[in-house]
Amino acid sequence: MSKKLSSFSTRASDLIFNQIIGAKKIMLTGGRSSRSICKSLANKIHLHKSLDIFLTDERIVPKNSPDSNYNMVKNELKINESDGNIRLFDMIDRSSMANESESFKLSNKYFTTIPEEIDFMLLSIGDDGHIGSIFSNGCQKKINENFLFERKAPKLPHLRFSISLEFIKRTKKIFLLIEGVEKGRCVKSFLENYHTNNDSFLQVLLTHTWLFDDEAMQEINKEKQSHLLKDTTCIKF
């Protein structure tokens, strides 16, 4: 991890922890930026007396796979499954994966425990502009209003479960991680095409908090585009 990445993660995680400490149910995403944040939160989050953690999305892989978001969050936050204070809910019924056909399904425990609204959600933007496992060029099947099944994610693993945009829209407190040049360019492209790009996932996040590192922020033309972010809390680390 570079010093710059460490600085972003440490400072951003302090702000994120201030949101988590008063929450009961939160949702975390996968990806490189989220991994660094989880690592920075590891020694703080166990101060919480009672916290339920859900995932925004999960790749359909074995639980101990390096591609598993559950595995990443559990390891980076150092969650002990026998510890009743911090509960991490697996999104997938892993027993359904014993059959190699597409018989896998959402975990019933996850499905029945998740509330209608999450107290706090952490998202990050992908290099191609996706959030969670919602891809503009994917092939999604709607499970219900809250969840979808992605059959052809552009990146491996192709099979994934994800929360829906409808679920994201109901969440009152969201922080979006925007780290690095490529992700800054995604935001720049969104802002430049704002009036013709109503299908962008970033539209639903304009009233939330966006956390930039210096490289990502440098891609934004603040003079020409700042008015488009008038309802967005933008913080640079």
Q: Cα torsion for 60, 65, 71, 72, to the nearest 10°?
A: -100
Q: What is the mean pLDDT of residues 49-60?
A: 93
Task: Return the minimum-mean-pLDDT range out of 122-136, 170-184, 221-235.
Answer: 221-235
Is 195's pLDDT higher than 90?
A: no
Distance CA 108, CA 169 (A): 23
Distance CA 167, CA 162 (A): 10
Question: pLDDT (tens digit, 9 = 90+) per residue, 56-65?
Answer: 999 998 888 9
pLDDT at 187: 93
Q: Is the peptide bond before 115 cis (omega within 30 degrees of 0)?
A: no
Which tokens sit at 96? 């359904």
The pLDDT mean for the chain works out to: 88
Domain ranges in the chain are 3-9+17-176
Q: With beta carbons less than 8 A apart as the criterion, state whether 13 and 40 touch.
A: yes
Is 196's pLDDT higher than 80?
A: no
Distance CA 236, CA 123 (A): 16
Q: Is the peptide bond before 157 cis (omega within 30 degrees of 0)?
A: yes
Could you tell me which residue, 24 or 224, shows the higher pLDDT?
A: 24
Taking residue 145's Cβ as centre, other Cβ atoms within 10 Å add up to 11
pLDDT at 170: 93
Which tokens sit at 224? 């020409």
C-alpha distance from residue 63 to each of 66, 72, 122, 192, 198 (Å): 9, 10, 21, 40, 36
Assign a CATH topology to domain 3-9+17-176.
Rossmann fold (3.40.50)
Is 4's pLDDT higher than 50?
A: no
Structure confidence at residue 213 as a pLDDT band (50, 70, 90): very high
Is 102's pLDDT higher than 70?
A: no
Q: Cα torsion for 220, 223, 228, 229, to the nearest 10°?
A: 70
Which residues on adjacent β-strands are paired with residue 43? none
Q: What is the mean pLDDT of residues 201-212?
A: 93
Distance CA 233, CA 107 (A): 34
Which tokens sit at 130? 């996706």
Q: With beta carbons less than 8 A apart as the criterion, state whether 153 and 92 touch.
A: no
Percent of the chain surpassing pLDDT 90 = 60
Distance CA 202, CA 17 (A): 23
Going by the DSSP 8-state scheme, the letter that residue 96 receives in this structure is G
Taking residue 185's Cβ as centre, other Cβ atoms within 10 Å add up to 15
Q: With beta carbons less than 8 A apart as the criterion, state whether 174 and 168 touch.
A: yes
Which tokens sit at 64? 């101990």
